[in-house]
Structure 1
Amino acid sequence: MENPLQSPALWPPARPRRPSRLLRRVLLVLLVVAGVLGAVLLAPPVEQPAVKAPAPAPGPAPGSVALTALSTGAPASLPGLTALIAERERHLRAQPRDAGAWAVLGAAYVERGRRTADEADHAKAEKALRTSLRLRPERNARALEGLAALANERRDFLAARSWGEKALRAEPGRWTAYAPLIDACIGLGDHEAAQDALDRLLRLHHSPAVMAKAAAVYRHRGWREDAAAQLSDAAASAASPVERAAYLEQAGDIAFERGNPEEALRYFDAALRLDPGRRTAAAGRGRTLAALGRTAEALRAYRRALAQRPRPEHLLELGELYQSLGRQQEAAAQYDLLRARIRRSTAAGVDDALVLGRFEADHGDPESAVRRLRAEWQRQPGTAVADALAWALHRTGRDEEALTFARKATETAGGGGVRNALYAYHRGMIERSLGRPGPARRHLEKALRTNPYFSPLAVSEAQTALAALGEPPVTGAPEDVTGR
């Protein structure tokens, strides 16, 4: 049998046929393409250049923000005020006869002095504002308005009222001039005039600043719910965190006066989150924490409020808190600071007769308190002065005369009617000394009902006095139903 492998037809094997030229070219192209794809697939990823987002547009400069706030009657931030002052001072070195710039500089100094309690700013403000008036004696409403605001800061309410009226005569439609005029009328105890000025303001303009001013008028007329509603709307509509913080702080004050320290604390905390430099809100926070029994936190809050340039009224509050805790040496230290602070502020033109009279009546020389407060009453007879004078007279044993002033502080003459627990307490204690148990009981109960935390020292005295008076008689007509 023939081996097929040995067959002559198949051996030797035939040479393989070479591919055609076209096929070779196709194969070559395919090999090149495959190489390129492999290189691409195996190569590390190439990072694409980052596309930069467009830079955000720069916000307005702090000085211009502060200027806008001042021009609209709104609170301004401390950094903004400092920037505005620096800008205006640079401008005035080059243009010293720019009356408008001098007026803006003066207003900025007033506002910064109000925030920091620095009387040096008051002096600078007066110089700037009077320079503006000298350069432009006629129709310079902005400078006149600034002088009204400065007088209010110095507690010179008569001068503030005069400057405010002059500003409105110079420019009747200048709605921001109504704010210092209203504050002056409240300081003088003329609540009907304050309401009249507010009514005129509301016909001219409506804004968060106007709502807050309405709240101040309503508060001093005893309409606390209306005041709280106005402040709520003002805070919701505020144009800046600093402005909103100011209105929240005022809402906290009203909540505390209503005897609700928990609500007040929420307002003060919110104000401080928005504007950490608001030291008056820190003092309010200390007041409410003390009412809630959180003493250590209260003391820290007061120390924050009293940093750098303490306000006399806050030194008095802290001293009385220490005294209520039995820490007499620390209380005395605060009282010494208060006296020194008032000496400096008085030398700078600030009228601190009211707070000094209150201090002397309870912790110093009541006779000197009577002399100071009588003079203050003759000069500017406000509701707070009537109450302080009544208490000083009581502390010197002149209770009949004291009751006359206590009635002025607690009744609605002149359109007032502020619901103040301390005023009611003072009147009740005076009536108790005069042997009038019915009216005394009513006013002491009113004080504790209005705000059971109104004073760390006086609350316990009110409770003790009320317990000593006992229950009212079961039979017979109520004694002295008119309260007189």
Structure 2
Amino acid sequence: MRRLALLITTAALCGGLAALGTVGRDGSGHGSPTADAAHPASTAPVGDSSLTRAIAADQQRLRQVPGDATGWARLGAEYVEQARLTADPSYYPKADEALHRSLALAPEANTDALTGLGALANARHLFDQARDFAEQAVAVSPAHWPAYAVLADALTQLGDDSGATEAVQQLLDRRPGTASFTRAAYDLEQHGRIDDARTALQQARDGAYDPADRAFCQYQLAELDRNYNRTQEALSGYEQALHTDPDYTPALAGRARAEAALGHSEDAVRDYTAAIAKVPLPQYLLELGELHDSLGHAEQAREQYRLLTAEQQLAAANGVVDDLTLGQYQADHGDPAQAEQLLRAEWNRRHNPLVADALAWALHRNGHDTEALDYANEALAHGWNNALFRYHRGEIERALGRTDEARRDLSAALATDPGFSPLQAPRAREDLRDLS
């Protein structure tokens, strides 16, 4: 970790990014720990229209030269990126076919296809497969920096703490820039080093010349501000990102989160609705549903949850395994027993702090508080001062009669982010008053 901090301070920034189709801070594509599983920081967004043109050009070329292994790998990576931008998982089978065709044409030393398959596996939440593909690519070509980005994302989601940090360091060594600095920032944040994380994101922003890259960095800085009780600054950051790139949907959803935390409910509903119309991510649907719930709009909340379930089913039909988001939804709005089953399965696949926290909450909702506390402690073990994690552990401690510990954790949750959830932050305040 000391070497990672030194490199963040001194490295020169380089421009340009590969479209790696990485998962988001919550495991989904964009990031909030309150929804889907977040976020090794994604690569910066690629313009939808330019990507569509690139896909069309590669499709045309491959009709003429079907034996072009490099072209098939590039097309597969483009399909992964298109799925990320549009939240349309039907691109994943297309990506899978294109990347495997590339590998069949060039089975030896095909780092582009291996890296693309790793990015695809990350997007489908098949993180163990993503790790294996990335490691194969690194073994073939140790200088191939995009493989380290895929590897860092996979290891972060798998909960391999030291391995993820090392992969980020390897990425920084080979390609200091937006993709590496944003991943470094997330690694630092998970270890409680918020100031260092902000420094890394500021360096990424200051070295970003492309508007899409710059908007992405502005958005990540705003997310960091929002997570740590700088909500007004976060709102300004999201607006800066939208000014830089008006089509950047995550900033629109981020602005909605900040507006909800500041009590600007009508503005938040408007912005969430606009973001969902562009990119119907389950994370956005869950957040808007909970906002409606907090406002007493039961029918509107049910509609968002219905759409979330439909999106989850569509994703599953296209090879995405996402028991985390569904488990989080079921724990608070559906069947807690099913939530526990889903999240135990997810924990068996990956020991990530987000999964530990979600499983702890599902166990609490089912009355298994002693076991829940073990997982809540695991979620916070590496120093991530996450308000939702603190709230969940505080409620578990409260149920176990550990009054002092509960008071401490509920207070810490509200001090870290007073608006961490439109539903649960008010409950935290009420329960803290009861304990006091």
233-242 or 425-434, larger mean C-alpha shift: 233-242
- Structure 2 residue aligned with 1:194: 164
- Which of 113, 121, 142 is matched with 2:91 structurally? 121
1:3-36: CA deviations, max 9, x gaps? xxxxxxxxxxxxxxxxxxxxxxxxxxxxxxxxxx
Structure 2: which 5+ residue stretches go unaligned?
1-15, 21-42
Question: 1:276 Cα shift?
Answer: 2.2
1:450 equivalent among 416, 427, 431: 416
Structure number, greater radius of gyration: 1
Structure 1 counterpart of 2:302, one-letter code: A
2:233 pairs with 1:263: yes
1:143 aligns with 2:110: no
Corresponding residue for residue 400 of structure 2: 434
Q: Which runs of 4+ in 1 moved over 6 A?
A: none
Q: Does residue 1:95 correspond to 2:43, yes or no? A: no
Q: Could you tell me which of 10, 15, 18 is aligned with 1:70?
A: 18
Matches within 5 A, 1:47-86: 69-70=17-18, 75-86=45-56
Tell me, yes or no, if structure 1 residue 237 matches structure 2 residue 201: no
- Matching of residue 419 in structure 1 with residue 385 in structure 2: yes
Residue number among 382, 397, 400 corresponding to 2:370 in the alignment:
400
Contact kept? 1:369, 1:392, Cα under 8 Å? yes
Q: CA 1:132/1:286 → structure 2, altered by over 3 Å: closer, same or farther?
A: same
Q: Does 1:466 align with 2:432?
A: yes
Unaligned runs of at least 5 residues, structure 1: 1-67, 471-484
> 1:314 is aligned with what amino acid?
Y
CA distance in 2 between counterparts of 1:246 and 1:97 reads 36
Moved more, 207-216 or 322-331: 207-216
Residue 76 of structure 1 aligns to a residue whose secondary structure is coil
Of the candidates 301, 321, 328, which is equivalent to residue 298 of structure 2?
328
Between the aligned partners of 2:110 and 2:299, the Cα distance in structure 1 is 52
* Aligned mates of 1:71, 1:290 — CA distance in 2: 32
Amino acid at match of 1:119: P
Give matches, 1:112-191, under 5 Å: 112-191=82-161
The 1-side partners of 2:19 and 2:153 are apart by 18
1:192 CA drift (Å)? 1.2
**Which of 105, 114, 138 is equivalent to 2:75?**
105
In structure 2, how many angstroms separate the alpha carbons of the residues matched to 1:210 and 1:216? 10
| Partner of residue 318, structure 2 | 348
CA shift, 1:71, in A, is 7.2
When residues 71 and 110 of structure 1 are mapped into structure 2, their CA distance, relative to the original with a 3 A threshold, is closer
Letter in 2 for 1:437: T
Q: Give the % identical residues.
A: 45
Q: Deviations over 1:187-222 (max 9, x none)?
A: 111221111112222222322332222112212222
Shift, 1:267, TM fit: 1.4
Query: Structure 1 74/272 Cα, relative in aligned 2: closer, same or farther at 3 Å?
Result: closer
Greater relative contact order, per chain length (Cα 8 Å cut-off, separation 6+): 2
Structure 2 CA distance for partners of 1:456 and 1:74, relative to 1, 3 Å: closer
- After superposition, residues 275-290 of structure 1 pair within 5 angstroms as 275-290=245-260
Q: Match for 1:402: what amino acid?
A: A
1:13-32 equivalent positions in 2, closer than 5 A: none
Question: Which residue does 2:216 correspond to in 1?
Answer: 246
RMSD: 1.4
Contact 1:70-1:107 within 8 A present in 2 as well: no
Number of matched residues? 399
CA contact (8 A) 2:19 2:78 kept: no
Aligned to 1:302: 272
Give the corresponding residue for 2:351: 381
How many angstroms does 1:353 deviate by?
Answer: 0.8
